[in-house]
Chains A and B, each alone.
Chain A
Amino acid sequence: MLKVLKSGFYTTIQDTGRFGLRDKGVPISGIMDMETVSKLNALLENKEDAAVLEITMTGPTLEFEEDTFITLGGAEFSITLNNEPIDGFTVIKIKAGDILSYGRLKKGFRGYLAIKGGFKSDKVLNSRSYYPSINPKGIIKDRALIPYEKTDTFKPKLSEMKVDDLLDENILQVGKGPEFMLLSDKQLEYLFFKEFTVANENNRMAYQLNEELSGHKVSMLTSATLPGTVQFTPSGKLIILMKDGQTTGGYPRILQLTDKAISILAQKKAGDTIKFKLI
Chain B
Amino acid sequence: MKKYSLSIRPFGVHAVLIEWPEKVEEAILNDILAFIAHLRENCLKEGNWELVPAYNSLTLVLRYDTIDFDTFKEQLEIWYAEKKDTVGVQNYLWRFPVCYDSVFGIDLEEVAYTLKITVAELIKKHTTHVYTVYGIGFLPGFMYLGGLPKELEIPRRATPRLKVLKGAVGLAGKQTGVYPEESPGGWNILGHCSVPIFDPKKETPCLVKVGDKVQFYAISKAEYDLHKIEAEVGIYQMEKIKIDA
The answer, yes or no, to whether A258 is at the interface (CB within 8 Å) is: yes
The answer, yes or no, to whether A226 is at the interface (CB within 8 Å) is: yes
* Cβ contacts A85-106/B at 8 Å (1 or 0 each): 0000000000000000000000
| Residue numbers in B under 8 Å from A234 (CB-CB) | none
Residues of A in contact, count (CB < 8 Å): 34
Q: Is the CB of A247 within 8 A of B11?
A: no
Q: Is the CB of A222 within 8 A of B54?
A: yes
**Given A23-B136, A24-B206: A222 touches B12 (CB 8 Å cut-off):** no
B residues 34-49 in Cβ contact with A at 8 Å: 48
The answer, yes or no, to whether A269 is at the interface (CB within 8 Å) is: no
Residue from B22, B180, B198, B209 in contact with A221 in the complex, judged by beta carbons closer than 8 Å: B22
- How far apart sit A19 and B12, CA to CA, in the bound complex (Å)? 17
Residue from B17, B24, B141 in contact with A178 in the complex, judged by beta carbons closer than 8 Å: B17
**Given A22-B61, A23-B210, A223-B17: A134 touches B140 (CB 8 Å cut-off):** yes
The answer, yes or no, to whether A161 is at the interface (CB within 8 Å) is: no
Q: Is the CB of A25 within 8 A of B63?
A: no
* Cβ contacts B47-60/A at 8 Å (1 or 0 each): 01011111111010
A residues 154-185 in Cβ contact with B at 8 Å: 175-178
Q: Is the CB of A178 within 8 A of B140?
A: no
Q: Is the CB of B205 within 8 A of A19?
A: no
| Residue numbers in A under 8 Å from B205 (CB-CB) | 21, 24, 26, 125
**Given A221-B56, A222-B55: A25 touches B206 (CB 8 Å cut-off):** yes
**Given A24-B141, A249-B138: A226 touches B48 (CB 8 Å cut-off):** no
Q: Is the CB of A25 within 8 A of B10?
A: no
**Given A133-B200, A134-B140, A221-B54: A19 touches B15 (CB 8 Å cut-off):** no
**Given A246-B137, A247-B52, A249-B138: A125 touches B200 (CB 8 Å cut-off):** yes
Q: Is the CB of A22 within 8 A of B50?
A: yes
Q: Is the CB of B50 within 8 A of A20?
A: yes
| Residue numbers in A under 8 Å from B210 (CB-CB) | 23
Residues of chain B at the chain A interface (Cβ within 8 Å): 9-15, 17, 19, 22, 24, 48, 50-57, 59, 61, 63, 135-142, 144, 180-181, 198, 200-201, 205-206, 209-210
- Some 30 contacts from A to B, beta carbons below 8 A apart, are A19-B50, A23-B209, A24-B136, A24-B140, A24-B198, A24-B205, A24-B209, A25-B180, A26-B140, A26-B205, A27-B140, A124-B201, A125-B200, A125-B205, A133-B140, A134-B140, A175-B13, A178-B17, A221-B22, A222-B138, A222-B144, A223-B54, A223-B55, A224-B52, A226-B61, A247-B52, A248-B52, A249-B137, A256-B11, A256-B12
Residues of chain A at the chain B interface (Cβ within 8 Å): 19-27, 124-125, 133-135, 175-178, 220-224, 226, 228-229, 246-249, 253, 256-258
